[in-house]
A and B are shown apart, each in its own frame.
Chain A
Amino acid sequence: MNFLKFLDTLSDKDLLNEKSSRRDSFDMFKTLGKGAALASIPFGLAAISTKTKAATKSMAYAAEMADEMDVLNFALTLEYLERSFYQQGLDAAGLIPSSDQAVFAKISQHEDAHVDFLVTALGSNAVAEPTFDFTGAPGGLNLDPFGDYPTFMALAQGFEDTGVRAYKGQAGALANDNALLEYALQIHSVEARHASQVRRMRGEKGWITQSNNTLPTEFAAIYGGSTPESNTTQGGVNLSGMFGQFGGDAAVTEAFDEPLTMNEVLTIASIFIVS
């Protein structure tokens, strides 16, 4: 399945509204110890062929599986994007100064591992890697991230902060599957470590104040969305004005990261996806 077909299948579904209240839809996960060898993880997803899925589509169980598979493919798409971006950055002679090589080499290793993990998890259902264009031409931009280091850094920050928000936005969709939820959380916080590091290397704080950022204006959506980073209402409580002695509303917005919906993320990612 290519990326555009994947998008097409997503548009037919209301991913977040089909949640079952049942935890552990995949009972087999219950028996898994943390850190089990990947090859031994019976994800189950891979075993379900498209045909089988169609035949059992009427079952809530199958529907839930399909949703979770879509979430994993969504995550994989973002990880492909990051992996490709850092690989090209590290391959571009003279782009990354030696003082920053250790950081980007480490981030690149992590994105490789995230791709490997998700590909193994999805098996034959893994979406194919899209064709990326980091000039942003698909979105009407003309960037030079592999010739201009500040642009590379800006995109790195944008991708990492988007990744954090993207995983966060899918927590609810994975909530009924303990194993998948935990794996997603374990990636999510690593993306946040990356984001903090790159942001600080660019002279921003490691955390996000309001929806402020120093990226090109075309990327405002990375910090905006239906629940923007400037949100001050948490769990139904508006915290605005409550922490004057503790950094005020700026600190309140820093203290909570916010999710992006799948569509919001795909709109951002599509700037760099040819097909």
Chain B
Amino acid sequence: MKDKVLEKQPQPEENKRRQFLKLSGMALVGTGLLYACSSDDDGSMPPPTPGVFDLGAGNVGILNYAYALEQLEAAFYTQVLAGSYWMNAPANEKQILEDLYNHEVIHREFFKTALNSVVSSDMVLPTVEFDFSSVNFSDRASVLGVAKILEDTGVSAYNGAGKLINVSDASGVTYLTLAGKIVSVEARHAAAIRDLLNPGSADFAGDDILIGLGTAPAFDKATPPADVLQAVAATGFVVTPFTANNLPTS
């Protein structure tokens, strides 16, 4: 299970598609998402792409969105723990990264279970394949640098998703509470990684990541899914295509 992502054996046809996506992704980095990821304000929906999973609408869409982010984090730390930086790291750092790995796997599996309990499996985001070949898992700065980005992104993503959860029924309130239970753990992670990179500094909650609300920087960002997914796409880590054409935007 630990190496689920690594053990996945792509079929020949998948290989071709993956190659195509890699190329397209490279071409589009910096210019936007490989796949459109938000409902347009004018209400027009892009047509579904055949064979490509869409995260869906409403609370299920938000759950799939969180599941996608947790899959990304869990897959990344799976690779971290298989790399030589981690194997040779000081005990304290090893422990922190192993904890993060455990937490993200737990989050991932939790969302998988939760989604499968509320919708049929064809509405649950499949296992996403990732390509971390741009990360040097032998290099501390490379690993911790990516970890920092992923954790900070997770924080701003959950903060931005909170208001998109429809709370008109009890399960919606439960989802909101769950998002709250997870986002603060992501923030704890982000602070720890940032402190590993610059120990004893103010970076754990630095001005580089916080924003002001008419004040000095003292608030985490709350980023809409479209912007989060655009940033994720720009990393080039995501191999399996999926769209987010129907997520709530307000």
Question: Using a CB–CB distance below 8 Å, which chain A residues touch chain B?
Answer: 21, 23, 30, 34-39, 41, 99-100, 102-103, 105-107, 109-114, 116-117, 120, 164, 167-168, 171-172, 175-176, 178-179, 181-183, 185-197, 200, 205-207, 234-237, 239, 242-243, 245-247, 251-252, 254-259
Contacts and interface: CB of A to CB of B under 8 A. Distances in A.
Contact of B205 (A171, A197, A251): A197
Contacts of B8: none
A256 B176 contact: no
Contacts of B183: 185, 188-189, 192
If over half of B's interface residues share one DSSP class (helix, strand or loop), that class is named, otherwise mixed; here it is helix
Contacts of A205: 99
A243 B106 contact: yes
A183 to B, nearest CB: 7
Interface residues of B, number: 67
A193 B113 CA distance: 28
A171 B192 contact: no
Interface stretch (B23-31, B135-143, B217-225, B235-243): B217-225
Contacts of B174: 235-236
Given A113-B216, A239-B106, A259 B180 contact: yes
Interface string B146-185: 0000000001001110110111100011111110111111
Contacts of B211: 35, 186
A235 B202 contact: no
A44 B172 CA distance: 26
A194 B184 CA distance: 11
Given A178-B250, A182-B162, A197-B195, A255 B219 contact: no
B215 interface: yes
B99 A193 contact: no
A120 B214 CA distance: 10
A149 to B, nearest CB: 15
A196 B183 CA distance: 13
If over half of A's interface residues share one DSSP class (helix, strand or loop), that class is named, otherwise mixed; here it is helix
Contact of A185 (B159, B200, B201, B205): B159
A176 B99 contact: no
Contacts of B158: 185, 189
A127 to B, nearest CB: 19
A114 B205 CA distance: 14
A172 B250 contact: no
A117 B213 contact: yes
B176 A186 contact: no
Given A23-B167, A113-B218, A181-B162, A189 B102 contact: no
A176 B168 CA distance: 9
A206 B189 contact: yes
Interface in B124-141: none
Contact of A102 (B2, B190, B192, B200): B200
A38 B212 CA distance: 9
